[in-house]
Structure 1
């Protein structure tokens, strides 16, 4: 059994691209059975809840840029995402604090549907313009991924799984992870960023190799290091 742990954030464009590339590698992998676990990482924990602006409007305000400049930045990552079959719509994507979405992912893990909820959250954010910081929206997305909507909403309301989210973030810090996505194979081999398909194929084949310390991700390797990302 090969264990793959992936640190990522729901609002990270490179994380969704990296997810697709890992999935492509897994689809053609002929070796041992592989389990994938999605770990929590927040690019900007200070993001306010209830911010109705699009991610473009928010980024333009923070960086002192025009909206047209921001859209130009989005164009590159949107084109790369399209090569992986992903339809990013940054005109619709809304600013959100992702803490509760990460709590929902731990709820989903406890009920055997983490992978399905991870996919649903990222698609909802990047393609549908869903507010992934809103409890009602999150519970509805959980239901569409096969979970009980009432139970999901209750878990969000009562603060469940906050400790698990913080434990993931602490583990990332221990590994030296400063950007996402970051992939750890069998707690030994680290892959930083949304690397090409071949890198994931090699990592799966060499998953028994020891990595003394996981290297920190950098913005040049297809990774996000803060809420503005490498776009």
Structure 2
């Protein structure tokens, strides 16, 4: 993987996740990763960082089509086929405890939503903001490109609305979003969710919790080798160390 990830403390594991607010599999991937993390013995030593990825940067602020018709148009499928795709992912999401309502979905550009996630990170609320935006898009039918909506959602997770509005209007986090996207391109990421563990190993897609747990365990073991376990009853028998040998006197 790309070696440009910021270093972490020796006793911690960094996990970087690229995803989009308008990605149904990203919400499922988030839940599955959380399930894996809950089973991971070192979960309190894992630092999760969310990164921006726009599946369709050219989406207008408010898309005129419904989710079904937009999918049909994008993939050249019939509305019936598109509905089948939506139904499948809805059932999968339900299996993870998520309630999708694509009939309410309001399609729109996610660039400002990603800026809001970066803003929330500076206040220790990145994960809560990511969660709220995913639910807003997938379940609540909120237009996540609308400034007033973003301010309201930010306030719901405890951010200052006035500060959020100012940050989104002046675009102070826009460059950070572009840097995320440039790094994704450099890493060869073409689909999301995409997990990078320890700055070295990539996991693509909404993998099942056991696969993600296995990846966490493997990376932890490789980057945090276990201390040697002493064998034998006498751990203080005579020996030589650090260039010295203590030779006992003979009686």
Question: Is the Cα contact below 8 Å between 2:62 and 2:106 reproduced in 1?
Answer: no
1:12 aligned residue? 23
Superposed structure 1 runs of 4+ greater than 2 Å apart: 50-54, 57-69
Residue 79 (structure 1) shift: 0.7
Alignment of structure 1 residues 104-115 onto 2, 5 Å:
104-115=116-127
Local SS of the residue matching 1:49:
coil
Residues 129 and 154 in structure 2, CA contact (< 8 A), matched pair in contact too: yes
Task: Map 1:108-147; keep pairs closer than 5 Å.
Answer: 108-147=120-159
SS of the aligned residue for 1:16 comes to: helix
CA RMSD of aligned residues (A): 1.4
Contact 2:118–2:126 at 8 Å: present in 1 too?
yes
User: Quick one: distance in 2 between partners of 1:84 and 1:2?
Assistant: 25
Structure 2 CA distance for partners of 1:54 and 1:204, relative to 1, 3 Å: same
Query: For this pair of structures, how many residues does the alignment match?
Result: 210
Equivalents in 1 of 2:14, 2:206: separation in Å? 18
TM-score scaled by length of structure 2: 0.80
| Counterpart-to-counterpart distance in 1, 2:48 and 2:64 | 33
Residue 174 (structure 1) aligned to one of 186, 196, 199: 186
Q: What is the TM-score of this pair, normalised by structure 1?
A: 0.87
- Between structure 1 and structure 2, the one with the greater Rg is 2
Partner Cα separation in structure 2 for residue 94 and residue 68 of structure 1 = 19
**Partners of 1:67 and 1:87 in 2: how far apart?**
22
Deviations 1:73-124 (Å, cap 9, x if unpaired)? 1111111111000011110111111100000000001111000000000001
CA-CA distance at 1:63 after TM superposition:
4.0
Identify the range of structure 1 (26-35 vs 92-101) with the bigger mean alpha-carbon deviation: 26-35
